[in-house]
């Protein structure tokens, strides 16, 4: 049975997600649809990439992943399609693909969306394209080769001789803080040395935990979560709120008639000694 995953920034208070699923079922018989999330943030592609990439790897070959985020960022709408790890990804051509897959696969194509001015017209074209991909298990002959693909890079931690600076990717539903430092980066920089993790208000954690129950209730902890990323938390508490930590935000600053995009991350530093 064909399998599609959906991840969007649309939410579920409106009819759009349900209507899009109807379009997909109308195009593809015996279809199975899995929801990743419909609450991805418009202004944090790193958050969206973290959620989707860590979910996608658990799906079987030939799954088609459809990601709708910031669809109307540009006047002309283009989508990009690739074959990655024996799966297919279809998403807007706004840089999110390169953040998902790190290096663009050679088999990548751009799908211009022609004569579509609203979201349901766009999703209709996507549903038809999805039907073709899943029927043939290939993206050959779909889209236009050679068109420019927008690329954006994930913010990487900065590594010094005796320190790492990481950035907060996002705050999860339990107020835990996810940092862009992976266990692999940590161990490579650590080289067996002692360490201390320092974040806002000079809070310090000197030992990594294996799970939340490793510390007493209301105590702070740091551990590498199931996705391999550093996570700051409080056992049965609200770490981000208590420590005043915030995830990535894109703020628009008006300066006369000009508008500039500025990116703000809060940092977490690990010292080695």
The answer to whether residues 63 and 177 belong to one domain is no
Question: What is the domain extent for residue 179?
Answer: 158-272
Domain match, 106 and 164 both: no
Helix residue ranges, H only, the chain: 16-27, 45-56, 96-101, 119-136, 183-190, 239-243
Which of 74 and 160 is assigned the larger pLDDT?
Answer: 160
Tens-place pLDDT, residues 139-196 = 999 988 888 999 998 888 999 999 999 988 888 989 999 999 999 999 999 999 999 9
How many other C-beta atoms lie within 10 A of the C-beta of residue 24?
24
pLDDT tens string 221-240: 999 999 999 999 998 888 88
254 or 174, which is more confident? 174
DSSP 67-99: EESSTTSSSS-EEEEEEETTEEEEEESSSHHHH
pLDDT at 51 over 90: yes
Same domain, 117 and 183: no
For position 202, which CATH number holds?
2.40.30.90
**Both 196 and 265 in a single domain?**
yes
Structural domain includes residue 142: no
Q: To 5 degrees, how large is the angle CA 266–CA 246–CA 242?
A: 115
> 115 lies in a domain?
yes
- Shared domain for 263 and 173, answered yes or no, is yes
pLDDT of 61 reads: 96
CA distance 195 to 87: 39
Q: Percent of the chain at pLDDT above 70?
A: 92
pLDDT at 129 over 60: yes
Q: Which of 136, 170, 199 is a domain's end point?
A: 136
Do 257 and 178 lie in one domain? The reply is yes
Q: Is residue 152 part of a domain?
A: no
Q: Which pLDDT band, with edges at 50, 70 and 90, does 115 fall under?
A: confident
- The answer to whether residues 73 and 181 belong to one domain is no
Residue 58 has pLDDT above 60, yes or no: yes
Whether residues 110 and 182 fall in one domain:
no
- Taking CA 76 as the corner, what is the angle to CA 21 and CA 4, rounded to the nearest 5 degrees? 25
In a domain, 149, yes or no: no
pTM, to two decimals: 0.88
Q: Examine the domain organization and report whether 71 and 189 are in the same domain.
A: no
Residue 182 in any domain: the answer is yes
Q: Is residue 151 part of a domain?
A: no
The pLDDT confidence band at residue 263, using thresholds 50, 70 and 90, is: very low
């Amino acid at each position: 049975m064909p399998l599609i995953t959906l991840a969007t920034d649309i939410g579920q208070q409106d009819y759009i997600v349900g209507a899009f699923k109807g379009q997909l079922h109308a195009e593809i018989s015996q279809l199975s649809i899995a929801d990743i999330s419909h609450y991805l943030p418009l202004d944090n592609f790193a958050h969206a990439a973290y959620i989707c990439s860590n979910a996608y790897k658990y799906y079987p070959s030939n799954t088609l992943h459809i990601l709708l985020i910031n669809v109307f960022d540009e006047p002309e709408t283009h989508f990009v399609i690739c074959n990655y790890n024996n799966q297919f990804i279809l998403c807007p051509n706004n840089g999110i693909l390169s953040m998902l897959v790190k290096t663009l696969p050679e088999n990548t194509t751009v799908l211009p969306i022609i004569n579509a001015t609203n979201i349901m017209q766009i999703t209709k074209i996507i549903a038809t394209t999805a039907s073709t991909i899943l029927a043939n298990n290939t993206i050959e002959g779909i889209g236009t080769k050679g068109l420019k693909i927008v690329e954006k890079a994930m913010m990487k931690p900065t590594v010094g001789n005796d320190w790492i600076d990481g950035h907060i990717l996002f705050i999860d539903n339990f107020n835990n803080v996810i940092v862009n430092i992976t266990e692999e980066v940590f161990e490579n920089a650590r080289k067996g040395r002692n360490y201390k993790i320092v974040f806002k208000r000079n809070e310090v954690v000197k030992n990594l935990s294996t799970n939340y129950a490793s510390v007493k209730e209301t105590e702070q902890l740091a551990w590498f979560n199931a996705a391999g990323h550093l996570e700051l938390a409080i056992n049965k508490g609200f770490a981000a709120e208590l420590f005043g930590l915030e995830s990535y935000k894109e703020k628009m600053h008006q300066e006369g008639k000009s508008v500039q995009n500025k990116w703000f991350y809060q940092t977490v530093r690990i010292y080695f000694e």
